[in-house]
A and B are shown apart, each in its own frame.
Chain A
Amino acid sequence: MARYIVRRLLWAFLMLIAVSGVVFVLFYVFPSADPAQLRAGRQANEDQIQAIRESLGLDKSVLEQFWIYIKGVFTPFDLPGTDATGPLYFGHSYQSNADVKDVIFSDLPATALLVFGAVIVWMAIAIPTGIISAIRQRSLLDRTTMVTTLVFISAPVFWLGLVALYLFAQDVGIIPIFPGIGSYADADSFPAKCASMILPWLVLAAATAAIYARYLRSQMIDVMQEDYIRTARAKGLPERRVIAKHVLRSAITPIVTLLGLDVAVLLAGNAILTETVFNIPGVGAETFNAIKRSDLPMIQGITLFGAFFIVTLNLVVDIVYAYLDPRVRYE
């Protein structure tokens, strides 16, 4: 197991370098706004723009910029033209001059609260719904829940967010019962922050819960056809025990994989729409701002950070697999 983990970590390291390279290439190959011109202001002359370009290191070749970046993130060497040394030096924002790492870490609590709260909500909805639909196939309840889940899967998150706001937000809603837009920033205690997340949790969880419920249902239906389930029933095990101990345990394994990826992707800033609609100051909202302002260091930092989460959680999921499914062994 230890060898397996070390091998995976080495691959993760190489993958993070590759991700950095891809982001660099994307930024330079596809048209993006010139950060130096944006920073210089509308009447700045060529010399001023060139001076800013130099101060941001944009006058260097793409390869050189990439090397400096990689050095900063992964090595402890001094960086030319900066007072920062790596590792984990992601640079400074072109726009605000803030340290990218500091910004991401300051954004992370809001995103983590959003994501983990939403995970609890969607798992709390998806697991019972999936189980009930699976064991009562083609019943009215099954059909109703499956149609409902289809509606939530089809609804874009930003639309669902706006509908939720206009219905239930205290500031702009018709039935003002939940804290509204920007309430996270106003909240000064953990319970208040949780209250401000109720609508975002529900919105973010809605589509995901629907997907999980449908996935769990189909997994359980497949598992229930297996011989060992028939054997368990023939041995006289109570149905509740058959479902909980044998069917669910097998059916939930792929869900764990899915969950690991989803959590990683959301922590990486992919809750961008939910965070933007509800004005939650998290990694997603930061991503939105960075893209809007062609802020390469911030885009790069968030992407790498996201890749790190995805790689790490994948590894965690693989380890958890071994415990969930005794057939899985790592050599």
Chain B
Amino acid sequence: MRMKVLRALVPGLLVVAGLLIAACGGSDETSTSGTSEAAKQYAAPTEAPSDAQSGGDLTVIAASDVDYIDPGAAYYQFTYMVTSATLSQLEGYAPADVEGPTPLLATEAPTVSDDGKTVTYTINDDVKFSPPVNRTVTSADVKYAIERSLLPGVPNGYVQTYLAGVEGIDKAIKEAQDNPTGGAPDISGITTPDDTTLEIKLTNTTSIGVIGALTLPVSAPVPEEYAKQYDAENPSTYGEHQVATGPYMIQNACVADDGSIVSKKCDGELTGYTPNKEIHLVRNPNWGGEAGSPPDWDFRPAYLDQVTIQEGFADTVSASKKVLSGSAMVNGDFTTPPSAIKQAATSGEEGQLTLTPSGGNRYVALNTQSPPFDDINVRKAVLANSNRTDLRNTRGGELTGPVATHILPPEFPGFEEAGGLEGPDLDFIQNPDGDPELAAEYMKKAGYESGKCEGPDCEITMVGDDSPPGSDTAAVVKSQLEQLGFKVNFQKVTHDIMYTKFCSTPSNAPEVCPNVGWLKDFNDGQSMLDPTFNGANVVPENNSNWAQLNVPKINKAIDDATLIDDPEQRKQAWGEVDDMIMAEAPVIPYIWDDQANIQSADVAGVVNKFNANWDLAYTSLKP
């Protein structure tokens, strides 16, 4: 879920942001409860209104397509917007869930054995697959869903990380890689003693990471007898033939627009999905509930009849206008640009604009392995000098989120323990507008007598985005570095090239990566801090530890924290890890993003706090 960059913001972003703040009477004040004042003012509803109406069709306006239509590979907020309506993973997230999930396919939260090495789920016995499969889901379908995610043809980006402690997974991975079209490999540590029991045996006590990962779409059941023909292809084509277990399904030839079964024996190929163009959701006739009245095992009310996701709206300004002035529409994958936020805040009807903490952050990574940033005092000087308010403003100002003071975002386990909005007690992070005098002191400590960087090490390379708002952020970073005497060679490339060719490839990494950030996988510090700051995770390619921080005591603290089972102790541990990281000054955190969502005036939208997007299974049209 690498952060998608908004590429279509209008020029004059800062001016608009200023106007916006003025229009809203905003200030930089933030509460101490973990949410900015702006986010409070425009807080999204997390439950449907009591008089929510059943029926109606909703259109989701989106700029791009989902990352993968295959639930085994889906790994992006916008994709979760679809999967949370069409699939039923073991545990899911109701809109208000922040710290923990709610059992969905499972009857209750999993039990963990006393030694912490066995996780057991009991699943509901009355969940059915959509046509053409039409049969009851069993625990074997969940096992198959997890196993198929190891196939190279199902490019899952997280299972091998979080399920690394599952018994037999290494053997299964090898088997899958040796024979990519030979079917899903068996993971010996996952067993199904009966049709409703799923047992997962671990090699160590890492159950929280495993349980967290299984809240994601990979644990949504997949019927082996139906899917194996598609999984024998590389890449797998099961995604284009997928069956649903949620209240909605991506339309196939078996089901009509109104959700009625046309044929029980169609080939299952999706007719409601055209890549980069449209996803059409209709009601799943086998779900078992009615609109607004879910079956006993499910918590999603599913008011709408149909949802059409229209893609290709590259100009997010006009797309936002369309949503705000239109009927029965919400935004999809794009964050509302500042001009549209202003329109919604000043002239829109109440509720048309909502702000929700995204569970992500953005920061400037300093390469701790490369001079001059291998010197901690130089890094502290850069942080002290940085005007993070200016950096935040390049993203759109206060309404796009509070100025970050550390890594873990608001409303996230460990956030308060890491210092909340005020951040850790570190002098170089205290002033969001920058402290040049303190910066000069740190530069002197680093051996630069003038308080400014001098010498060949001070000629540095920065690789950043070639389009706004990322390029605006990079330009401000460059200016701030130059204030400290650095000579910055700023290379502009596309966002994807920036990651894959430069910042995520340590052998080719520049000294500064100004446009990186991380979004949680699930609500646990492991998903925020382990990939990004554990020295053990610095890898030759696809590296996410962009600062290349490799401090043994931090690595150990991270490893220890992943093994803690008690939620309170775990929060405390991750908060402390966050503090330890910030004390090393490897990055300049400048914003915890609030996701700005918009809806037409006749939509009663509900935002799911887990992925900060509209929850299609809770959203309805106003009576």
Contacts and interface: CB of A to CB of B under 8 A. Distances in A.
Given A42-B157, A181-B318, 18 more contacts: A32-B497, A37-B499, A38-B500, A40-B542, A41-B155, A42-B75, A42-B544, A43-B158, A44-B160, A48-B160, A51-B176, A52-B155, A55-B180, A97-B235, A172-B325, A181-B315, A285-B312, A294-B496
Interface string A95-129: 11110000100100000000000000000000000
Contacts of B494: 33, 292
Interface in B467-503: 493-494, 496-497, 499-501
Contact of B65 (A31, A96, A294): A96
B73 interface: yes
B552 interface: no
A315 interface: no
B496 A293 contact: yes
A288 B65 CA distance: 13
B507 interface: no
A150 interface: no
16 contacts: A33-B501, A34-B501, A40-B155, A41-B75, A44-B542, A45-B539, A45-B542, A55-B234, A172-B322, A181-B322, A279-B314, A281-B276, A285-B312, A289-B312, A292-B494, A293-B496
B177 interface: yes
Nearest to B326: A171
Given A37-B504, A41-B73, A171-B322, A46 B542 contact: yes
B463 to A, nearest CB: 10
A91 interface: no
B278 interface: yes
* Chain A interface bracket (under 10, 10 to 19, 20 to 34, 35 or more): 35 or more
Contacts of A43: 157-158, 160-161, 521, 531, 542, 544
Interface in A183-208: 185
A48 to B, nearest CB: 6
A59 to B, nearest CB: 12
Contacts of A48: 152, 155, 160
Interface centre among A42, A45, A279 (most CB of B within 10 A): A42
Contact of B542 (A49, A166, A293): A49
Interface in B1-35: 1-2
Interface string B38-61: 000000000000000000000001
Contacts of B314: 276-277, 279, 288
A325 interface: no
Given A34-B501, A172-B325, A289-B64, A45 B160 contact: yes
Interface centre among B1, B75, B240, B541 (most CB of A within 10 A): B541
Contacts of A55: 152-153, 180, 234-235
Interface string B117-158: 000000000000000000000000000000000001101111
Interface string A130-172: 0000000000000000000000000000000010011000011
B504 A31 contact: no
Minimum-distance CB pairs A-B, first 5: A41-B157, A96-B275, A33-B496, A51-B152, A34-B500
A185 B157 contact: no
A180 interface: yes
B275 A46 contact: no
A181 B275 contact: no
A227 interface: no
Interface string A5-47: 0000000000000000000000000011110011111111111
Nearest to A110: B277
A78 interface: no
A183 to B, nearest CB: 10
Contacts of B235: 55, 92, 97
A49 B239 CA distance: 20
A37 B499 CA distance: 9
A14 B1 CA distance: 43
Nearest to A42: B2
Given A32-B497, A181-B322, A293-B496, A41 B156 contact: yes
Contacts of A106: 274
* Chain B interface bracket (under 10, 10 to 19, 20 to 34, 35 or more): 35 or more
Contact of B497 (A31, A45, A185, A276): A31
A219 interface: no
A197 B134 CA distance: 42
Contacts, number: 151
A293 B315 CA distance: 17
B443 interface: no
A55 B73 CA distance: 15
A92 B239 CA distance: 15
Contacts of A222: none
Interface centre among B276, B313, B541 (most CB of A within 10 A): B276
B542 A37 contact: yes
A96 B539 contact: no
Contact of B278 (A41, A49, A51, A185): A185
B541 A46 contact: yes
Nearest to A56: B235
A45 B544 CA distance: 11
A180 to B, nearest CB: 7
A54 B494 CA distance: 25
A162 B315 contact: yes
Interface in B75-126: 75
A31 B501 CA distance: 8
Contact of B180 (A37, A39, A51): A51
Contact of A37 (B67, B326, B500): B500
A93 interface: yes
Interface string A56-97: 000000000000000000000000000100000000110111
Contact of B540 (A46, A54, A171): A46
B464 to A, nearest CB: 14
Contacts of A83: 233
A236 B494 CA distance: 66
Contacts of B275: 93, 95-96, 98, 103
B310 interface: yes
Contacts of B61: 182
Contacts of B277: 185, 281
Interface in A275-331: 276-277, 279, 281, 285-286, 288-289, 292-294
Contact of A281 (B1, B312, B499): B312
A97 B68 CA distance: 10
A222 B589 CA distance: 67
Interface string B227-264: 00000011101011000000000000000000000000
A52 to B, nearest CB: 6
B549 to A, nearest CB: 17
Contacts of A292: 64, 494, 496
Contacts of A95: 65, 275
A52 B322 contact: no
A23 to B, nearest CB: 17
B587 interface: no
Contact of A38 (B276, B315, B325, B496): B496
B496 A42 contact: no
A90 to B, nearest CB: 15
A51 B154 CA distance: 11
Contacts of A172: 318, 321-322, 325
A201 B180 CA distance: 48
Given A38-B500, A41-B155, A181-B313, A49 B276 contact: no
A316 B594 CA distance: 56
Given A43-B531, A182-B310, A52 B540 contact: no
B330 interface: no
B319 interface: yes
A42 B278 contact: no
A37 B319 CA distance: 30
Contacts of B155: 39-41, 44, 48, 52
